[in-house]
Amino acid sequence: MSNVLSGKVALVTGGSRGIGAAIVRRLASEGAAVAFTYAASEVEANALRAEIEQAGARILVLKADSADSNALRNAVTHTVSSLGRLDILVNNAGILLRGTADSYELSAFDRMVAVNLRAVFVAVQAALPHMGAGGRIITTGSVTADHVGFRGASVYGMTKGAIAALTRGLARDLGPRGITVNVVQPGPTDTDMNTDAGVREMVSALTALGRIGNVTEIASLVAFLAGPESSFITGAALTIDGGYLA
């Protein structure tokens, strides 16, 4: 790997496992000092910290439920105070609470909006006072913003569609400051959300490549958007789905 992000500081929300952990590993391997949050996966978070430290990179682990706005703001503050600056914000934390509209609990609706959508805006607001020209804001969305594809994901798809719209608006707001804002929209990916073997086989057949994605592939796109070669990309929703939507 190169040191293209050497001297940069990144904060990744929801970084203890899955796509988030892959992003943490990739940004650290590119030379960035990385802070990441976790809500409940303490064992995984500490294991990832040890792994990154052993590789010689600077790492900061912060416990913060993204539904808690104060905890999220404090995570940004601690990142800056501990690592000295903030150049890259990756809004990765997200949850999927399935259910159809006829029986969906409003408490689940509110939780999904809080974690998947409101937290993105809260983190961006908290990060902006510390972010200068060349700053990067990247959010993990989903292809469900454009194609839900299965029952019980209407609220999830709504939050991901809203993230894409928010990204476009933020790109306009922050363009004059030289800060880019983009959303990465993974398709079917090998994570904790996709553990059913039958579903994985079915979804794999729906992609052009005949397989689901790997978290390292998602992380590679995030790393590109975090680097200097993506400086003219902003307001974009970049699909990475193996041709699922093709």
> Which residues sit opposite 185 in a β-bridge?
239
**Residue of 38, 104, 156, 244 marked catalytic:** 156
Q: Is 104 in the active site?
A: no
Token digits for 215?
């978290």
On whether the CB atoms of residues 181 and 171 are closer than 8 A, the answer is yes
Token digits for 97?
């609470």
Give the DSSP per-residue string, the chain.
Answer: ---TTTT-EEEETT-SSHHHHHHHHHHHHTT-EEEEEESS-HHHHHHHHHHHHHTT--EEEEE--TT-HHHHHHHHHHHHHHHS---EEEE---------TTT--HHHHHHHHIIIIIHHHHHHHHHGGG--TT-EEEEE--GGGT---STT-HHHHHHHHHHHHHHHHHHHHHGGGT-EEEEEEE-SBSSTT---HHHHHHHHHHSTTSS-B-HHHHHHHHHHHHSGGGTT--S-EEEESTTTT-
> Which residues sit opposite 35 in a β-bridge?
11, 60
- The catalytic residues are 156
